[in-house]
Structure formats: structure tokens, C-alpha cells
Amino acid sequence: YAIVSAAVRSPLGGDHLAAQAKNMLNNMHIQMLPIYSIQSKEVIRERERARYTLKTLPAGLTQSWQQYMLKRQYEDFYHCVAQVSESSYDERTAASVPGVHYEFPGGYHQDFGPERFKLTECLFEQNLGAPHLVCSAAAACDADARPALWGAVVACGGLANLGGWLERVSRELAARAPSSHRLKTHAAPSPPERRFAAWLGTYIAQHSAQPGRLAGAREPRAGRARALLAPPQNARRALAVRAPLRRLAWYVRSTARSTTRAAGWSA
């Protein structure tokens, strides 16, 4: 079940990181074009000006759809380039790490070094980052439940796939966790599973043979219950939402397969 009174939210997420990536590229005078607008491009040297031909786009493309496709390009950029440092950003330490090469849809390409570590620092603001959210949520719960919460911190979502993000969060939580509580973080092994981990509870609830009972999600190795799923008390209502949930589960599986085949990672 969910403790709604202890839910904590932050505006720092994937959209915020995409906006920061856009500002960084604008300051570097690098133009980001949506991939659907490129007809052809020429092979150029690194940091050379891009040479491409634009497509003649059909009439009727809405502004919202074009902005959505452009935002997906920025998401692709930060998932390929961004890296989270183990501690607070230090330019000397970041400069010692090899850079990452990235090619934009227009053909322009270059290596990104320390700036890819600086980009992700916006996710660890003192009062808005993930470590602060975990501490605030645990503090809002009863004292008897806090040891279990600190021992079952689950990382999920698209940002959990960023390189070094889980290690940074675990490091900062270890410094903030009470000494009497044992901290343990969990994350799915594959990027698609980690991205859609928040939806697995809905998927399990849909396929539950007895929707009127509480179902424990158990870990195969340890055999302990990690979470409890509370389906709706009205069985008819549960049957009514089964079809939408089935479509949602199909979308999760098909999206995970397509992203794995195309790029090997997921946003």
C-alpha cells in the first residue's frame, strides 16, 4: 500500500535535465535539429560546421508535436552523454575522465568532457534532489516503519539509468541515514526494467488471481516481501480497468523491446 501523507515530489526530473541540456548546447552554439527534418547530411570532421539538407515537411504539423520531438532529441543527448560524478562536481576530477563522443542529427559531432558531469549537478540540489526526497519521505512516516523504509530504497524511472546516478544517491544517503538504520538500495538490472519498474505493481495487480487480497512481491533469493499491492476493494471495478491495464502492459513490453534493440538503453 502507499502512504500518501509521506509522498514527496520534486520538479527536478527528466524534463528539467532536458531543459538544462538545451541551455548548455545553446551556450556552446550547437544547434539541435529534430531527426525527422533532415533529408541528408555529409560526413564532416570533428567540430566542423554541419552540412545537411532539410526535408520539405508536410503541412499540418502542430507546434506541440514538433516541440515534443525536439525534446526527445535532448533526452537522447543527455542519456548518451551525461554522467553523474561520485561526489560534488570538481572540474579537475571531471577533466581526468575520458570524454564521450556524440553526433547530432545534422551531422555535427564532437567530444564532451567535464561539461557532461556539470550537466547532472542540477539533479542534486540541496533541498530538491533525490537524497533529500528520500530523507523527507522517511521522516514523514512513523518511527516504527523507518528502519524498513531505509532498508528498501528502490531506484526506478528514466533518470535511474544515468551512469553513476545510483552510486551518487547511495553515497549521499549513507551520509544522511541514521546510524541505527541499515541502508540498502535496490534497482532492476536492465535499463528497460529499471525505467518501467514503477508500473510493475500495476501489472502484477492486473494478473493477480485473487484481486481482493493483498499480494506480496517477493524477492526470489531472500524470500522476503518487498512491497504490498492493494488492489481495489470492488472486484467489478478491478475487472473494468483490466483492459486498459492490459494495453498498458503491452505498451511497456513493446517499448522495452524496441529500445533495447535500437540503442541498448532507455530514457
Tens of pLDDT along 120-130? 999 998 888 88
Whole-number Cα distances in Å, 179 to 33, 38, 138, 182, 196:
50, 56, 14, 7, 32
Q: What is the pLDDT of residues 222-265, one digit of tens each?
A: 333 333 333 333 333 333 334 444 444 444 455 544 444 433 44
**What is the C-alpha separation between 25 and 29, in angstroms, rounded?**
6
pLDDT at 113 over 90: yes
Q: Is the CATH code 3.40.50.300 the one for domain 8-123?
A: no
Any idea where the domains of the chain sit in the sequence? 8-123
Region 128-147: mean pLDDT is 90
Residues 6, 20: contact at Cβ < 8 Å? no
